Structure 1
Amino acid sequence: MSDGIAWIGAHHHTPSSAVPGMLGGISLTLARGVETDEFLINLGADPDELAARTPYRELRAPAGQPGLPSPRLNRVMYGTCGAWTYVLEDWGMATWATGYQGKAESMLPCEGEEILCLTANRFSPPAQIIHAPGARAYRADFGTDTGQGSALDAALGAAGAVFPSMPETGEAEVVAYFEEHGERLPELVFTAVGAYTGVAIDQDVVEAGDLPGILIAPV
């Protein structure tokens, strides 16, 4: 059943499992104002693979050639909801986040587009929000907002996803708050992003791997 996208955050700490699709540790990238296939090609998707619309559960990484290292490719699941394209990844990061921060030209945000990325940052915590409502992107760790006074920031505040911070609150209070509420923080962040975007992604479909998938080399 679908519960917006809050369920993704609720399973933020769930280890990646052997389900045919995804469940735990999912990073989510949302984009609007750019055509779906164009956005995916900018991430590194192969146009022929995109055209095949292969279900994620049927994707197989190619075998390496004798004497050569096997290519590292991450499986990615994608779909659309309203005006948004969404990309789901459970390898520990979001491809767009790594590409944008590495200044990969194809992944730099543009005017007329909006990109909102929630990257798990498993290799370099904490998890982060990156919001590009145009050609400039703003970053925030989970538990904070972007500081732009945007509608996204308002949604994060309304969902309880902005936690107390120093120096506004003493260290002891901040630590106690995170210890009590930190486990739910990813769920609150995803709840806020769902409220801001109106995006809903069906959990059962994602777990089953029924959405189309592609293979993308990490940036």
Structure 2
Amino acid sequence: MSDGIAWIGAHHHTPPSAMPGILGGVSLTLARGVERDEFLINLGADLDELAARTPFRELRVPAGQPGQPSTQLNRAMYGTCGEWTYVLEDWGMATWATGHQGKVESMLPCEGEEILCLTANRFSPPALIIHAPGACAYRADFGTDTGQGSALDAALSTAGAVFPSMPETSEAEVVAHFEEHGERLPELVFTAVGAYTGVDIDQDAVKAGDLPSVLIAPA
């Protein structure tokens, strides 16, 4: 049975815990049209680390040196499924999202590439969808769509991940819908993205930290 990626959303509210891999509060970045290692280098991955393909459970974040400014580094797990590269992070946000919003040149979307990012935005809710089907990126809070009438938007609607909003719906109906379905919203969003991309990520491998990883400094 396929794991898909809905399980990532189902654990959106699960606090990160001490385990060999990751499970709760995971941000996901997907990219196609760009070679895997090139995309990871654009995120800030080190060439030697990429060559080592160190499993996540074995990768250690170096301690800062006394008297020297320390660069914050976060572990990122990665892999490929079909034509997509995927990057998983549990530090609170997605590195690509912070870099893209900060106009980091290597993380700006390009024609011929497609990037789809689900960033947990733990430090500045709500969680966001950022979709760049080319050189332009479109953002949507979880519970909305990008407004582009795209196949992604259709998948979000089909999965029930587009919630009622004002002024089309009354405030009472909006509040009632969020109260009834809000807890499942991240799972619905990841279900939609899984349907759109066809990406399947092995939950057991992620929890065990078996996938390769790199250290990335937030942009």
Using the size of structure 1 for normalisation, the TM-score is 0.98
Extract structure 1 runs of 4+ deviating beyond 4 A.
none
Matches within 5 A, 1:56-205: 56-205=56-205
Task: Tell me the SS of whatever aligns to 1:15.
Answer: coil
Counterpart AA for 2:160: G
Deviation of residue 63 (structure 1)?
2.2
Hey, what's the Cα distance between the residues in 2 that align with 1:36 and 1:197?
A: 16
1:34 alignment partner in structure 2: 34
Counterpart AA for 1:21: G
1:209 alignment partner in structure 2: 209
Identity %: 88
Deviation of residue 2 (structure 1)?
4.4
Deviation of residue 66 (structure 1)?
2.5
Hey, what's the Cα distance between the residues in 1 that align with 2:88 and 2:99?
A: 15
Counterpart AA for 2:129: I
Deviation of residue 65 (structure 1)?
1.9
* Preserved contact between residue 121 and residue 128 of structure 1 (Cα < 8 Å): yes
Q: Deviations over 1:99-140 (max 9, x none)?
A: 000000000000000000000000010000000000000000
Corresponding position: 1:9 with 2:12:
no
* Preserved contact between residue 94 and residue 120 of structure 1 (Cα < 8 Å): yes
Counterpart AA for 2:171: E
* Preserved contact between residue 143 and residue 162 of structure 1 (Cα < 8 Å): yes
Task: Tell me the SS of whatever aligns to 1:168.
Answer: coil
* Preserved contact between residue 2 and residue 204 of structure 1 (Cα < 8 Å): no
2:44 alignment partner in structure 1: 44
Counterpart AA for 2:113: E
Counterpart AA for 1:115: I
Task: Tell me the SS of whatever aligns to 1:200.
Answer: coil
Hey, what's the Cα distance between the residues in 2 that align with 1:49 and 1:5?
A: 26
Hey, what's the Cα distance between the residues in 2 that align with 1:170 and 1:92?
A: 33
Hey, what's the Cα distance between the residues in 2 that align with 1:98 and 1:64?
A: 23
* Preserved contact between residue 2 and residue 203 of structure 1 (Cα < 8 Å): no
Unaligned ranges ≥5, structure 2 = none
* Preserved contact between residue 27 and residue 120 of structure 1 (Cα < 8 Å): yes
Pairwise CA RMSD of aligned residues?
0.8
Hey, what's the Cα distance between the residues in 1 that align with 2:86 and 2:214?
A: 13
Task: Tell me the SS of whatever aligns to 2:161.
Answer: coil
Single out whichever of 58-67 and 75-84 deviates more from structure 2.
58-67
Q: Deviations over 1:152-186 (max 9, x none)?
A: 00000000000000000011110111011000000
Hey, what's the Cα distance between the residues in 1 that align with 2:17 and 2:209?
A: 12
Label 1:19 to 1:2 Cα distance change in 2 as closer, same or farther (>3 A): farther
Using the size of structure 2 for normalisation, the TM-score is 0.98
Single out whichever of 103-112 and 54-63 deviates more from structure 2.
54-63
Task: Tell me the SS of whatever aligns to 1:50.
Answer: helix
Deviation of residue 70 (structure 1)?
3.0
* Preserved contact between residue 97 and residue 130 of structure 1 (Cα < 8 Å): yes
Hey, what's the Cα distance between the residues in 1 that align with 2:78 and 2:20?
A: 15
Hey, what's the Cα distance between the residues in 1 that align with 2:93 and 2:77?
A: 14
Unaligned ranges ≥5, structure 1 = none
